[in-house]
């Protein structure tokens, strides 16, 4: 029979004396196993009786039984509702346990609690947060048009699972783009499309780490989400200091078999790795049999001079895996990144991608492929690079005029953020906390330390704050430092 519930009800034939028991028992079972959720309003007795071919008295009696047992609650003038079983009189509260003590979880995963939620955009008067690009300038009308075209094409094609390595058109577009913009030598066969750079790091951890034996050398300070992926896979993490020339190569541990670097715009300090350090790093990888993961996360944004070649461009021994993302140059919700893998790594990485999620968002990949192929990416990057350059100049000017001697900028000529050290007498974490209380969102450098090599300073993002607001933000921070 048709009835208001989304699960079957087996009501005995008319004349049976079991109709009330059957209705009561099945409704109670549905409440207990969660098919009827707490707070759900039950159908009116008359309506349910008509739907099930029962007398209304039978339904009223079933509801009365459930009401008396505490499975439903009556609200005057509103009807009957499924009760919260945890609130039933005499009910035993559901047992909860601390994940840190639960042996069913692997040891690494016992340390985590609920992930923190980022502060909503607009919750600060001066927002210097890192990692968020200027998405308000993105050409959404063009993206909408390309997306609609892709969707029309998809409606005429058979729905099939796709290639784990990514859509051929997008891989070709990525290869052409980075060959032109970064002189990265690759073909579409070398490119593996991922769900952001973070999935690329996770996949690399899966295929490169031997639990308990692998050593990952990372910049310190550096990028914690990368560390997490390798720690979860069983690697040991060793922090290596960074100075104004980038990673200090002579401090690399000799047993490092994976090295993670951001040579074009070190995260979070912003320095560029010098040519001498690049050559030394490649030589270390060659002689020690190590793999270099080159994260080129925002290298599209350079404000003067010619960018140095990527490590991948200089590599002659297939030691570098180059990772990029479109989250910084387009918008984070797109979640498309990529890895350019050396030939020996490509098959394993593609198979790990297949096991992880089979393939990414086909419609988004096809839209991005068209966006790149038709020249929209280059035009958008050129447009926002000018905006970021103006904000960077405003930031440096404000520091010079209002915080000279209080904030010492690290040398940086690229990227979407700029970092500055604060005097040893000032605690950067306490400073950032006081700034947040005053409506200024700014990050600390010690939040990115991996091995206790904390640097006392602040990092200023350029993506969410307009140039005219930067001066007042720096003036207010300078007052806090001066106190």
Nearest to 459 by CA among 425, 424, 416: 416
Query: For residues 18 and 146, what is the distance between their CA atoms, to the nearest angstrom?
Result: 62
Residue 177: helix, strand or coil by DSSP?
A: helix
CA dist 291 and 163 (Å) reads 26
What's residue 1's pLDDT?
A: 47
- Distances in whole angstroms, Cα of residue 288 to Cα of each of 107, 200, 212, 320: 31, 23, 19, 13
26-40 residue pLDDT tens: 999 999 888 898 989
Other C-beta atoms lying within 10 Å of the C-beta of residue 222: 26
Q: Looking at domain 19-87, which of 1.10.10.10, 3.30.70.1450, 1.20.1090.10, 2.60.320.10 is its CATH number?
A: 1.10.10.10
Q: pLDDT of 286-326, one tens digit each?
A: 999 999 999 999 888 988 877 788 999 999 999 999 999 99
**Nearest-angstrom CA–CA distance, 147 and 337:** 18
Round to whole Å and give the CA distance between 228 and 216: 11
Pairing of strands 291-295, 320-325: parallel
The pLDDT value recorded for residue 98 is 66
For residue 253, pLDDT beyond 60: yes
Per-residue pLDDT, 315: 94
Quickly count: other Cβ atoms within 10 Å of residue 196's Cβ: 19
| pLDDT, tens digit, 9 for 90 and up, residues 425-455 | 999 999 999 999 999 999 999 889 876 567 8
Helix-then-strand count for the chain, H and E: 14, 16
Rounded distance, CA 7 to CA 1, Å? Answer: 11
Q: Is a pLDDT exceeding 80 seen at residue 101?
A: no
pTM (global) more than 0.85: no
Domain 126-131+379-482 has CATH 3.90.1150.10: yes
Q: What is the pLDDT of residues 143-176, one digit of tens each?
A: 999 999 999 999 888 777 788 999 999 999 999 9
**Domain ranges within the chain, ordered by starting residue:** 19-87, 126-131+379-482, 139-375
Average pLDDT for 87-97 = 54
**For the domain 139-375, what is the CATH code?**
3.40.640.10
What confidence tier does 97 reach under pLDDT thresholds 50, 70, 90? low
From the number of C-beta atoms within 10 Å of its C-beta (0-12, 13-18, 19+), residue 120 rates as: exposed
Q: What is the secondary structure of 34-54 as a DSSP string?
A: TSS-TTPBPPPHHHHHHHHT-
Looking at residue 149, what is its pLDDT?
96
Q: What's residue 107's pLDDT? A: 83
């Amino acid at each position: 029979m048709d009835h208001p519930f989304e699960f079957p009800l087996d009501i005995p034939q008319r004349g049976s004396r079991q109709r009330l028991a059957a209705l009561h028992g099945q409704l109670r079972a549905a409440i207990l196993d969660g098919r009827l959720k707490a707070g759900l309003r039950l159908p009116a007795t008359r309506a349910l009786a008509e739907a099930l071919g029962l007398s209304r008295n039978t339904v009223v009696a079933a509801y009365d039984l459930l009401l008396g047992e505490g499975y439903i609650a009556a609200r005057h003038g509103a009807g009957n509702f499924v009760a919260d079983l945890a609130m039933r009189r005499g009910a035993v509260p559901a047992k909860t346990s601390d994940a840190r003590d639960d042996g069913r979880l692997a040891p690494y995963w016992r340390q985590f609690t609920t992930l923190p939620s980022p502060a909503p955009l607009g919750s600060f008067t001066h927002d210097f947060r890192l990692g968020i690009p200027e998405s308000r300038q993105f050409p959404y009308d063009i993206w909408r048009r390309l997306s609609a075209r892709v969707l029309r094409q998809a409606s005429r094609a058979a729905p099939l699972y796709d290639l784990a390595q990514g859509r051929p058109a997008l891989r070709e577009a990525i290869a052409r783009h980075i060959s032109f913009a970064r002189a990265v030598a690759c073909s579409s066969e070398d490119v593996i499309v991922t769900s952001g750079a973070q999935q690329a790091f996770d996949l690399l951890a899966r295929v490169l780490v031997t639990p308990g034996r692998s050593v990952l050398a990372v910049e310190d300070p550096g990028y914690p989400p990368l560390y997490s992926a390798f720690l979860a896979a069983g690697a040991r993490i060793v922090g290596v200091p960074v100075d104004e020339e980038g990673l200090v190569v002579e401090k690399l541990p000799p047993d490092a078999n994976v090295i993670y670097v951001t040579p074009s715009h070190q995260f979070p300090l912003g320095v560029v790795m010098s040519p001498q350090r690049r050559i030394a790093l490649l030589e270390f990888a060659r002689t020690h049999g190590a793999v270099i993961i080159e994260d080129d996360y925002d290298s599209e944004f350079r404000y003067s001079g010619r960018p140095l070649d990527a490590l991948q461009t200089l590599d002659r021994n297939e030691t570098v895996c180059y990772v990029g993302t479109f989250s910084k140059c387009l918008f984070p919700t797109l979640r498309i990144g990529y890895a350019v893998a050396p030939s020996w790594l490509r098959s394993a990485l593609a198979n790990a991608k297949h096991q992880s999620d089979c393939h990414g968002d086909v419609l988004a990949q096809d839209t991005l492929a068209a966006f790149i192929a038709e020249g929209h990416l280059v035009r958008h990057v050129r447009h926002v690079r000018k905006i970021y350059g103006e904000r960077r100049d405003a930031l440096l000017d404000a520091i010079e005029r209002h915080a000279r001697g209080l904030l010492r900028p690290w040398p940086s000529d690229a990227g979407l953020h700029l970092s500055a050290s604060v005097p040893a007498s000032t605690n950067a974490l306490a400073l950032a906390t006081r700034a947040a209380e005053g409506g200024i969102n700014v990050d600390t450098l010690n939040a990115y330390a991996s091995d206790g090599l904390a640097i006392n300073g602040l990092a200023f993002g350029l993506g969410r704050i307009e140039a005219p607001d930067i001066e007042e933000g720096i003036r207010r921070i300078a007052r806090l430092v001066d106190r």
